[in-house]
Structure 1
């Protein structure tokens, strides 16, 4: 009987430990949504994730890495999620979702004075478009028949290529473009897509944790905190 009680308690302790295990939330360098400031990871999405995880009472850590690695981690590793992730039909069954961290349109932009002109996506196909490996925009571009793609490891690498004239256009969040165009010589060309974006978690992610995270995000939005965070990072158009 004592042995049975011992193993029962041991099993309970192991189960409790599993429940208390830390959630890993991976993201990429994509300012102002997520970026490094010294050793700290900051941004409009990062701040939302920090607040909702603390409100939900879930132990967690945020890690920054190239998007392809972050995306793969959330597909293969228990208790792992990736953000800020566009929710589309292809990705829907691959993850469990907490959303929205934002609702946004994605546009194609070019450097000012480049001479690049396209009134729609068909006209844009003749140009070389830069994007990031495993980013949803890579899939969106391919699905729309774009073949002249230049794929980099992260957003900043693509932006540098655009500014240096190595590519003709690149996709970008429209609400971020409103901020970036004040800092860089860039122009909007045409709309690529519209999407809801959130936290994508491994498909076997525990339902109780997911429910707590979604409830915490819902409260953050309802209180006006999400909008305040957008304004803080110069994203006031994200109403």
Structure 2
């Protein structure tokens, strides 16, 4: 989204001229344009040429429109989105769920985008699906830099192999090169649809809900301390859930 122009006033103070600039797009307490990094993550975030769309893109647009805030979304590798926010290259990243490692350099907004995590095993798996067995005996696949990976690592899962995309995980699980994955239900079902794989190929075990929001960098929030409260208030009317989307 393009930013609105800025207005500048030239004044004289103690015989020294200075220029003060302010944006007509926001109050002095608000930024002119916010840069938020994201990854290609269908059906949440998709970039096709000059078009950006998806569940999360639309929810973010709803919030930013509500608070009249200009912004742009940049699609980059997920690891770079996070490290760039820590360094101040980006003002924030999304869609993201809470993790203590991310809390060191950024603050998560109120969550407003649905995410449910479930375990998936091949239907012919002979492994028990209790948590202890999955932790100690299952060979897992997980996406690099993802919060699903961090959760598995933090919760005592012993054998995890890292891959770039959920599409890789689906292929490996279909071919039984790995025993299990833990993945976002919407993301996993979307990958199955595009791979023309039936959902009954897998055993699904419900795990937890981990709703998504925007992680704003502490560097950015230190500069604009009133921004997060305004953003959070607007999320109440911009929530995405699969149930609402299908109604």
Scaled to the shorter chain, the TM-score interval is 0.7 to 0.9
1:159 aligns with 2:167: no
1:13 aligns with 2:21: yes
Structure-2-length-normalised TM-score: 0.76
Residues 161-206 of structure 1 show CA distances to partners (whole Å, capped at 9, x for unaligned) of: 3334332222212355566666533424434443232111101322
Structure 1 unaligned residues grouped into runs of 5+: none
Match of residue 200 from structure 1: 215
Match of residue 33 from structure 2: 22
Match of residue 213 from structure 1: 231
Paired residues in the alignment total 226
CA contact (8 A) 2:167 2:191 kept: no
Q: Distance in 2 between matches of 1:35 and 1:77?
A: 24
Residues 35-93 of structure 1 show CA distances to partners (whole Å, capped at 9, x for unaligned) of: 23444222111110112112211111112222111121222216511111111444445
Instruction: Provide the secondary structure at the position in 1 that maps to 2:183.
Output: strand
2:159 to 148, 170, 180: 148
- Structure whose alpha-carbon radius of gyration is higher: 2
After TM superposition, list the pairs within 5 Å mapping 1:1-239 onto structure 2: 2=12, 4=14, 7-8=17-18, 10=19, 12-13=20-21, 20-77=31-88, 80-113=91-124, 115=125, 117-125=127-135, 126-177=137-188, 184-186=197-199, 187-204=202-219, 205=221, 206-221=224-239, 226-227=240-241, 231-232=244-245
Residues 1-47 of structure 1 show CA distances to partners (whole Å, capped at 9, x for unaligned) of: 93647644x2x327989954421112222221112344422211111
Instruction: Provide the secondary structure at the position in 2 that maps to 1:13.
Output: strand
Structure 2 unaligned residues grouped into runs of 5+: 1-10
Match of residue 8 from structure 2: none
Q: Which moved more, 1:98-107 or 1:139-148?
A: 98-107
CA contact (8 A) 2:143 2:149 kept: yes
Q: Distance in 2 between matches of 1:55 and 1:217?
A: 9
The alignment yields a C-alpha RMSD, in angstroms, of 3.1
Q: Distance in 2 between matches of 1:174 and 1:188?
A: 13
- Assess, with a 3 A threshold, how the Cα gap between structure 1 residues 163 and 72 changes in structure 2: closer, same or farther: farther
CA contact (8 A) 2:30 2:226 kept: no
